Amino acid sequence: MQFDFNLDFLQAKAPPLIGVDISSSAVKLVELTDTGKGLYRVERYAIKSLPKDAVTDGNITNLDAVSAALKQAWAQMDTKIKNVAMALPSSAVITKKIIVPAGLREQELETQVEAEANQYIPFALDEVNLDFQVIGPAPNLPDEVEVLIAASRKEKVEDRVAAAESAGLKALIMDVESYATQTAYDLVARQLPNGGQDQTIAVVDIGATTMHLLVLHNNQTVYTREQAFGGDQLTQEIQRRFSLSVEEAELAKKQGGLPENYDAEVLQPFTDTLSLEVARALQFFFSSTQYNHVDHILLAGGCAAIPGLDNIVSSRTQVSTQVANPFANMALSSKVKPRQLTLDAPALMIACGLAMRRFDPS
Ligand SMILES: Nc1ncnc2c1ncn2[C@@H]1O[C@H](COP(=O)(O)OP(=O)(O)OP(=O)(O)O)[C@@H](O)[C@H]1O
Ligand SMILES: [Mg+2]
């Protein structure tokens, strides 16, 4: 399912574009191309970290900082493409499935959707960006179709568009983060036994501040939940223990060089807590749905780069666990360093899913 929120995407057929994820710790840019043989290629990507509080709960709270980071990341990419696909956090989007008569013309459908949306959306329609997608025939109702409506407050869309614009970029697509993750997941699913068919898969994205759980059955999303937990907790503990600044702690976390007791006294307690949070989130999923097991866990987000985390999570949960890499089956341009990409890949799920929008059939 993909949304555009009425940005003028319809102009050209598959215009070149870059996927841009504005997350709490960084802006992340990915450019993919289609080599024409059903094989994608990672042309280039960039991650530029953001100062603390530039993005809070998915909202851009410091436009200048975000725009400056976008500018730098774009320059670092050394690309010509200025068109971008972006996404809103799922928490900023209301979705609702409605049923309408089949065979409506585009204009009639729009009118119908607006009338229905009026009932479900707690804002005036001129304050929201509205988009919809016909899903298909309604179950058991031969003359009706199901339509998924997505709505977001205009200011949420405008903030992101403004950040892009002030960095000299042009937003063509405004998707939803969870849908972009699902697009990237589809790439990862191909690497799973049986392509993920007949299986229940948990994607656990642990970023800087938030842990997202997405559960898929037969590659369709059946459950999502987010909670406040992330790598910032480890960074803060490193700062406290070793009297370092945030920047120093972030760097040390990734590049090493911390005192010998770091592993046993700081990292291990963090990964213990992390695996416990994953186990609890799964328990919560089981207790609130008809499901009682998952076949596989995929770890995503920056924390997935912690060495050995897959083993720690799998021994706690007793579920086979692997680190997600949406680029695993892609070719790499000579500008991309394979080892670094493998480390960065789990944090690039959303940016990758957005970059894939370049290949939308139109
Ligand atoms: N090699 C690494 N080892 C340990 N932690 C890492 C490594 N690389 C990144 N991280 C941590 O991952 C976190 C950033 O992850 P990610 O980029 O997924 O977050 P985000 O998407 O910005 O945040 P959120 O999803 O919470 O908004 C930071 O806490 C960072 O320190
Ligand atoms: Mg994230």
Q: Are residues 250 and 146 in the same domain?
A: no
CB of 23 within 6 A of ligand 1: the answer is: yes
Closest-lying ligand 1 atom to the alpha carbon of residue 307: 3
CB of 302 within 6 A of ligand 1: the answer is: yes
Which is nearest to 129 in space by CA: 150, 146, 113? 150
As a whole number of angstroms, the distance between CA 52 and CA 97 comes to: 37
Q: Are residues 269 and 236 in the same domain?
A: yes
Q: Are residues 79 and 97 in the same domain?
A: no
Q: Which amino acid appears at position 357 of this protein? A: R
Neighbours of 63 (CB within 10 A): 13
CATH number at residue 51: 3.30.420.40
Q: Are residues 138 and 239 in the same domain?
A: no
Q: Are residues 341 and 273 in the same domain?
A: no
Q: Are residues 26 and 165 in the same domain?
A: yes
Strands 83-88 and 321-323: unpaired
Q: Over its length of 362 residues, how does the chain's per-residue pLDDT go in tens digits?
A: 456 665 544 444 568 999 999 999 999 999 999 998 879 999 999 999 999 899 998 999 999 999 999 999 999 999 999 999 999 998 888 888 888 898 889 899 888 888 888 888 877 888 888 888 888 888 888 899 988 888 888 889 999 999 999 999 999 999 999 889 999 999 999 999 889 999 999 999 999 999 999 999 998 899 999 999 999 999 999 999 999 999 999 999 999 999 999 999 999 999 999 999 999 999 999 999 999 999 999 999 999 999 999 999 999 999 999 999 999 999 999 999 999 999 999 999 999 999 999 998 76
Quote the ligand 2 centre to 91 CA distance (angstroms).
13
Burial zone of 297 (CB within 10 Å; 0-12 exposed, 13-18 middle, 19+ buried): buried
Quote the ligand 1 centre to 207 CA distance (angstroms).
5
Of the chain, the end-to-end C-alpha distance in Å amounts to 14
Structure tokens at 172: 């063509």
Give the pLDDT of residue 10: 43
CB of 178 within 6 A of ligand 1: the answer is: no
Q: Which ligand lies nearest the alpha carbon of 342?
A: 1
Closest-lying ligand 1 atom to the alpha carbon of residue 234: 29
As a whole number of angstroms, the distance between CA 203 and CA 299 comes to: 6
Mutate to test the pocket of ligand 1, among 211, 214, 303, 344 (most ligand atoms within 8 A of CB): 303
Nearest CA residue ID for atom 5, ligand 1? 303
Structure tokens at 37: 């043989």
| Residue 13, in any domain of the structure | no
Domain count, the chain: 3
| Residue 9, in any domain of the structure | no
Provide the 8-state DSSP code for 347. G
- Torsion angle (degrees, nearest 10) of CA 38, 348, 169, 357: 30
| Residue 197, in any domain of the structure | yes
Q: Are residues 226 and 293 in the same domain?
A: yes
Nearest CA residue ID for atom 19, ligand 1? 207
Quote the ligand 2 centre to 132 CA distance (angstroms).
25
Give the range of the structural domain holding residue 101, as residue numbers without chain letter: 92-154
CATH number at residue 103: 3.30.1490.300
Nearest CA residue ID for atom 29, ligand 1? 231
- Tell me the pTM: 0.92
As a whole number of angstroms, the distance between CA 288 and CA 7 comes to: 37
Q: Are residues 228 and 346 in the same domain?
A: no
Nearest CA residue ID for atom 20, ligand 1? 207
Specify whether the CB–CB gap between 7 and 161 falls below 8 A.
yes
Q: Are residues 170 and 280 in the same domain?
A: no
Closest-lying ligand 1 atom to the alpha carbon of residue 206: 18
| Residue 122, in any domain of the structure | yes
Per-residue buried b or exposed e for 176-204, using 16+ beta carbons within 10 Å of the residue's own CB = bbbbbbbbbbbbbbeebeeebeebbbbbb
CB of 181 within 6 A of ligand 1: the answer is: no
Strands 296-300 and 321-323: parallel
**Which of 135, 154, 173 finishes a domain?**
154
| Residue 10, in any domain of the structure | no
Burial zone of 52 (CB within 10 Å; 0-12 exposed, 13-18 middle, 19+ buried): middle
CB of 252 within 6 A of ligand 1: the answer is: no
As a whole number of angstroms, the distance between CA 186 and CA 190 comes to: 7
| Residue 5, in any domain of the structure | no
| Residue 167, in any domain of the structure | yes
Q: Which ligand lies nearest the alpha carbon of 208?
A: 1
Neighbours of 24 (CB within 10 A): 20
Q: Are residues 98 and 209 in the same domain?
A: no
| Residue 3, in any domain of the structure | no
CB of 303 within 6 A of ligand 1: the answer is: yes
Closest-lying ligand 1 atom to the alpha carbon of residue 346: 18
Q: Are residues 166 and 264 in the same domain?
A: no
CB of 25 within 6 A of ligand 1: the answer is: yes
Q: Are residues 66 and 164 in the same domain?
A: yes
Quote the ligand 2 centre to 118 CA distance (angstroms).
31
